[in-house]
Amino acid sequence: MTAPSQSAATPLTTGKLKRPPKLKGGLPLIGHTIAFVKDTTGLLQRTYDECGRVGRFKLFGKDMILFTGPEAHEALFRQPDEVLSPNAAYKMMVPVFGEGVAYGAEPARMAEQMHTLYPALRNNRMRTYTEIVARETLDVIRDWGDEGVIEAGAFFGMLTNYTSSSCLLGKEFRNEMSEEFSKVYYDLERGIVAWGYIHPYLPIPAFRRRDRARARLGEMVSEIVEKRKRSGYRGEDFLQTLIDAKYSDGSKLSDHEITGMLVAAMFAGHHTSSVTTAWTLIELLRNPRFLEEVRGEIHARYADDTEYSFQSLRDLEKTEGAVKEALRIHPPLFILLRAALEDCEILGYRVKKGNWVAVSPMVAHRDEEVFENALEYDPDRYGPGREEDKRPFAYISFGGGRHKCMGNAFAILQIKTIIAVLLNRYDFELVGDSIETDFQGLVLGPKPPIRIRYRRRGA
Ligand code: HEM
């Protein structure tokens, strides 16, 4: 990785800086808030279409500046947290993760907490996760029979819930507490509503349920930590990594911090992986040429349907291209935010203290100057001779810079495993009309119902 580019991103010093161009329209005081709430992605795209690589609109009384294009992304992602802060931008998540954890901690503390996850992402652990994901997938399709129809949103939501809870939380949650966990997780998710931008602790029922759920989850984690300590059992999961972890001063994470980090990993990884698995299958079914290539690769590798090993999955290039391309066209996290804590300069534009700044993977990935025929699903764009994802900060489904997704390798491996197991056993076909994106919520996915017919291969 190159060193931070001083010319691209520096705290404000002197000189004449340009004011980011303003998006037309908007109402006095509230600006574009209504358009943003009604059609967030539409407003972001319009900002780019009308203003270009830098555009500004008013949101909840503050200026939001959208930066688009690899140079702009780099400039933004390379700013220190003390200048452009994710913590201040995502403070609505603090009650969910817990005070003092992740976005609720000081930047240096948060960085240390994130570091504690690294041992859980090493190759030896990936081997275990691959086996778990393959086993869970084989388990849920065990009773499918020769033919049937699934609703893909619900199906992949359930499957990735099993795989994520097995790999992240461990077997106790997966096997003994999965019903109660589903309930508290649901209440936590339902606690992420737009009111949180105004104040994350308003006395509303959704926040009260969220806080009760967070407290209960803390108790559940503490019980398991205690049990593991007493029995000497060691899991091959994120929970164990966090139990073992130490800060640089030698102190251990508290149960509150362990709970918060587990919740953060679940929130970061569950829906994002679920919708991406659904989009990968949908896009392959819509694009028979690529489906044939991916199926061919999988059938050749797993002819005997026995071992979905880490090594064998890692080498499935066509399948990986299919996943990456689904992620490019349908990035689940369509807006990445920072709040300016100080005045600064990005690419010659003035960002003022109190502004919000954003990049949008969705808008960025539709940029024809960066991706050839950007709206087309074309996994070949990552192949030899093209490698469109190699341009730094062009492909940003996983963000970039110091806050780049930590779980990207795990996510891709998990999705590849699920797709490999499914396509190795069954043929699929979309049922019904076109599938649109569901623009409700923080994570964009395909709009249910998504009906997919399956038929056992050779049946
Ligand atoms: C397809 C699946 C996934 C997508 C599209 C995705 C996307 C992202 C993006 C865009 C960011 C950067 C956010 C920002 O800069 O504001 C991020 C951060 C993060 N992701 Fe993921 N993610 C995925 C799966 C996962 C999984 C499976 C895990 C954990 C097991 C995970 C853990 C994290 C963590 C811990 C961060 C915060 C890193 C930091 O702030 O230092 N993600 N992810």
In a domain, 335, yes or no: yes
DSSP-assigned letters across all residues of 310-346: HHHHHT-HHHHHHHHHHHHHS-SS--EEEEESS-EEE
| Cβ atoms of 146 and 456 closer than 8 Å | yes
Residue 270 lies in a domain: yes
| pLDDT number for residue 10 | 52
- Atom of ligand 1 at shortest distance to CA of 415? 1
* Nearest atom of ligand 1 to the alpha carbon of 120: 30
d(CA 103, CA 107): 8
- Cα(411) to ligand 1 centroid in Å equals 9
- Which residue lies with its CA nearest to atom 28 of ligand 1? 407
- Residue among 398, 402, 418, 442 whose CB has most ligand 1 atoms within 8 A, to mutate: 398
- Tell the burial category of 13 from Cβ atoms under 10 Å away from its Cβ (0-12, 13-18, 19+): exposed
C-alpha dihedral sign at 316, 324, 120, 420: negative
- pLDDT reported for residue 1: 32
3 domain-assigned = no
Percent of the chain with pLDDT over 90: 84
Distance 105 CA to ligand 1 centre (A): 17
**Residue 376 domain-assigned?**
yes
- Alpha carbon distances (Å) from 423 to 131, 148, 350, 357: 17, 15, 51, 41
- Nearest protein Cα to ligand 1, atom 12: 399
Measuring CA to CA, how many Å separate 351 from each of 50, 81, 83, 137, 394? 19, 14, 10, 47, 22
| Domain presence at residue 1 | no
Q: Which of 107-116, 184-193, 258-267 is least confident?
A: 184-193
Atom 11 of ligand 1: nearest residue by CA position: 405
The atom of ligand 1 lying closest to the CA of 401 is: 15
> Which of 273, 356, 405 to probe ligand 1 with, by most ligand atoms within 8 A of CB?
405
SS3 content of the chain, % helix, strand, coil (to 5): 55, 15, 35
Please state the atom number of ligand 1 nearest to the C-alpha of residue 275. 1
> 373: CA distance to ligand 1 center in Å?
27
- Counting beta carbons within 10 angstroms of the beta carbon of residue 190, is it exposed (0 to 12), middle (13 to 18) or buried (19 or more)? middle
pTM (two decimals): 0.94
Residue 367 lies in a domain: yes
**Residue 4, pLDDT score:** 36
pLDDT score of 11: 52
Lowest-confidence pick of 5-9, 291-295, 433-437, 449-453: 5-9
Positive/negative CA dihedral, 154, 159, 165, 168: negative
| Residue 298 vs residue 182, higher pLDDT | 298
Task: Give 8-45 pLDDT, tens digit per residue.
Answer: 445 555 568 999 999 999 888 888 988 888 888 999 99
Characterize the bridge pairing of strands 445-446 and 451-456: unpaired
Dihedrals phi, psi of 24, to nearest 5 degrees: -65, 160
Number of alpha helices (DSSP H) and beta strands (DSSP E) in the chain: 19, 13
Which residue has its alpha carbon closest to ligand 1 atom 18? Answer: 405
pLDDT value at residue 175: 86
Rounded-to-integer distance, Cα 433 and Cα 456, Å:
23
Determine which residue's CA is closest to atom 17 belonging to ligand 1. 405
Q: Give the ligand 1 atom nearest the CA of 402.
A: 41
Whether 6 shows a pLDDT value over 80: the answer reads: no
Ligand 1 site residues, Cβ closer than 6 angstroms: 86, 114, 264-265, 268-269, 272-273, 276, 327, 332-333, 336, 397-399, 403, 405-407, 410-411
pLDDT score of 326 = 98
Structure tokens of 447? 């709009």
Q: Which domain holds residue 406?
A: 9-456
Domain CATH code at residue 301: 1.10.630.10
86-141 residue pLDDT tens: 999 999 999 999 999 999 999 999 999 999 999 999 999 999 999 999 999 999 99
Query: What is the count of structural domains for the chain?
Result: 1
What is the CA(115)–ligand 1 centre distance, in A? 14
Task: State the first-to-last Cα distance of the chain, in angstroms, to the nearest integer.
Answer: 50
The model's pLDDT over 36-90, given as tens digits with 9 standing for 90+, comes to: 888 889 999 999 999 999 999 998 889 999 999 999 999 999 999 999 999 999 9
Q: What's the distance, CA 348 to chain centroid?
A: 30
Ligand 1 atom closest to the Cα of residue 410 is 27
Ligand 1 atom at minimum distance from 168 CA: 30
Average pLDDT, the chain: 92
Task: Examine residue 4 and state whether it is found in any structural domain, yes or no.
Answer: no
What digits encode the pLDDT tens for the residues 220-262?
A: 999 999 999 999 999 999 999 999 999 999 999 999 999 999 9
Determine how many CB atoms are found less than 10 A away from the CB of residue 365. Answer: 22
**Which pair of tokens denotes residue 166?**
């097995």
Query: Residue 430: inside a domain, yes or no?
Result: yes
Render pLDDT for 371-385 as a digit per residue (tens, 0 to 9).
999 999 999 999 999
